């Protein structure tokens, strides 16, 4: 029995070595490995052996089977390789064939929108300052005059990452970047600053056409020795004109814990041109941003002496800017990754 199996294996491998076409390979498989093939037949003889002989014969039969199966697989691979080489030799590559066109990509509308904003603010002397997206409770809230349990926290539904004393969270707005910019660029409160701080913010919101859990904001910060509310109004009005053309703007009293006084800026509705429509809720104006004079305590937290230095700040949601411009009705389109939307920009 053992000799028979060894002989079978030698025969099978010897025959396999000469096979180079699919039909003969299949015949070989049926002949040796098939259900009624030589190996199966040899294995049935196991039953006729004595008890002592059986284990060794069974073991060898299994080994033979594995050896033949792996030789069969190796042969398939070798045949594929050979076919490839033959086709490369007999059908030379035609390098004059035109290539397949590669679809041209483009910037995501949120990105091109941000870049337009950078351009306007860059022209007005503001530099981009990138701040982190993962923040501490201290910088996101406390240093901006929002202590624990302050009711203003309700406005910023927060994703907390770690529930420790030094709570870690996804920034709910770009305003904590004000503190970081003052500390990094201010050189202990001795240097003026003019920066914009763009980037992704996160809030634990009920997702709807108007609110998503992630969105970009663009923050602005100007610190200097004689900055007044007139600078805030003039600069923001100039921005609105650059961005939206020659439209009326108006400032409204507002409240933010980190600015005093605070103001909301509206521009004449770009959909109805001030006549009144559903988008501007028939007021003729659209809210564009929040702003204000940097609170003295926030200046101190950034390393500045509020008796010598002052500044203004503002923050806007930038997807909203793009939505108004392109009349996009649902903020969820931005991160839905649907090409039918993205290809329109
Ligand atoms: N951080 C505010 C928000 O997310 C927006 C804001 C308001 C930023 C006033 C400012 C500011 O810098 O002065 O709602």
Q: Is 219 in the pocket of ligand 1 (CB under 6 A)?
A: yes
d(CA 332, CA 345): 16
**Mean predicted confidence (pLDDT) in 39-54:** 83
Three-state DSSP state, 307: coil
Check: CB of residue 295 under 8 Å from CB of residue 258: yes
Residue whose CA is at the smallest distance from ligand 1 atom 10: 314
Q: What is the pLDDT of residues 111-159, one digit of tens each?
A: 999 999 999 999 999 999 999 999 999 999 999 999 988 888 877 888 8
Q: Is 202 in the pocket of ligand 1 (CB under 6 A)?
A: no
Dihedral of the alpha carbons of 186, 190, 194, 197, in degrees to the nearest 10? 20
pTM metric for this prediction? 0.72
pLDDT at 40: 86
d(CA 281, CA 272): 11
Q: Is the pLDDT of residue 107 over 90?
A: yes
Residue whose CA is at the smallest distance from ligand 1 atom 8: 315
Q: What is the pLDDT of residues 64-78, one digit of tens each?
A: 999 999 999 999 999
Distance from Cα 260 to the centre of ligand 1, integer Å: 12
Distance from Cα 108 to the centre of ligand 1, integer Å: 25
Greater confidence, 260 or 325? 260
Q: Is 264 in the pocket of ligand 1 (CB under 6 A)?
A: no
Report how far Cα 306 is from the mean position of its chain's Cα atoms.
39
Q: Is the pLDDT of residue 21 over 70?
A: yes
Distance from Cα 281 to the centre of ligand 1, integer Å: 23
Residue whose CA is at the smallest distance from ligand 1 atom 6: 315
Distance from Cα 140 to the centre of ligand 1, integer Å: 12
Q: Is the pLDDT of residue 261 over 90?
A: yes
Q: Is 171 in the pocket of ligand 1 (CB under 6 A)?
A: no
Confidence of residue 164 (pLDDT cuts 50, 70, 90): low
Greater confidence, 183 or 15? 183
Three-state DSSP state, 24: helix
pLDDT at 218: 98
pLDDT at 163: 65
Q: What percentage of the chain exceeds 70 in pLDDT? A: 99
d(CA 317, CA 174): 10
pLDDT at 238: 97
Check: CB of residue 64 under 8 Å from CB of residue 3: no
Q: Is the pLDDT of residue 172 over 70?
A: yes
Distance from Cα 19 to the centre of ligand 1, integer Å: 77
Which mutation among 218, 310, 314 tests ligand 1's pocket best, with the greatest number of atoms within 8 A of CB?
Answer: 314
Atom of ligand 1 nearest to the CA of 220: 12
List, in order, residues 6 or more apart from 340 with CB less than 8 Å away.
none
CA distances from 128 to 185, 242, 308 (A): 12, 18, 25
Confidence of residue 165 (pLDDT cuts 50, 70, 90): low
pLDDT at 171: 96
Atom of ligand 1 nearest to the CA of 173: 4
């Amino acid at each position: 029995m053992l000799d028979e199996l060894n002989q079978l294996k030698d025969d099978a491998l010897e025959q396999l070595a000469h096979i180079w076409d699919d039909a003969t390979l299949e015949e070989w498989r049926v002949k040796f490995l098939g259900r009624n093939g030589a190996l199966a037949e040899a294995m049935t003889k196991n039953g006729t052996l004595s008890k002592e002989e059986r284990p060794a014969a069974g073991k060898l039969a299994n080994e033979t089977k594995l050896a033949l199966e792996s030789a069969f697989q190796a042969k398939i691979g070798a045949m594929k390789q050979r076919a490839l080489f033959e086709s490369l030799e007999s059908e030379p590559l035609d390098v004059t064939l035109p290539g397949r066109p590669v679809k041209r990509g483009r910037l995501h509308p949120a990105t091109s929108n941000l870049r337009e904003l950078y351009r306007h603010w860059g022209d007005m002397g503001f530099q981009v300052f990138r701040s982190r997206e993962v923040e501490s409770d201290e910088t996101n809230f406390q240093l901006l005059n929002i202590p624990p349990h302050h009711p203003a926290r309700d406005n910023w539904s927060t994703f907390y990452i770690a529930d420790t004393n030094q709570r870690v969270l996804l920034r709910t707005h770009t305003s904590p970047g004000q503190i970081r910019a003052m500390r990094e660029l201010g050189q202990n409160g001795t240097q003026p600053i003019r920066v914009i701080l763009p980037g992704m913010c996160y809030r634990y919101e009920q997702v709807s056409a108007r609110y998503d859990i992630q969105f970009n904001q663009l923050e602005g910060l100007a610190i200097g020795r004689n900055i007044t509310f007139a600078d805030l109004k003039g600069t923001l009005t100039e921005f609105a004109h650059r961005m939206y053309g020659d439209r009326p703007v108006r400032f409204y009293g507002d409240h933010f814990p980190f600015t005093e006084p605070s103001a909301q800026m509206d521009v004449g509705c770009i959909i109805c041109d001030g006549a009144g429509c559903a988008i501007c809720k028939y007021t003729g104006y659209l809210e564009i941003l929040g702003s204000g004079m940097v609170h003295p305590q926030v200046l101190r937290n950034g390393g500045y002496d509020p008796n010598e230095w002052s500044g203004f700040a503002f923050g806007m949601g930038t997807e909203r800017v793009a939505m108004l411009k392109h009349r996009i009705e649902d903020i969820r389109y931005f991160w839905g990754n649907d090409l039918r939307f993205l290809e329109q920009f």
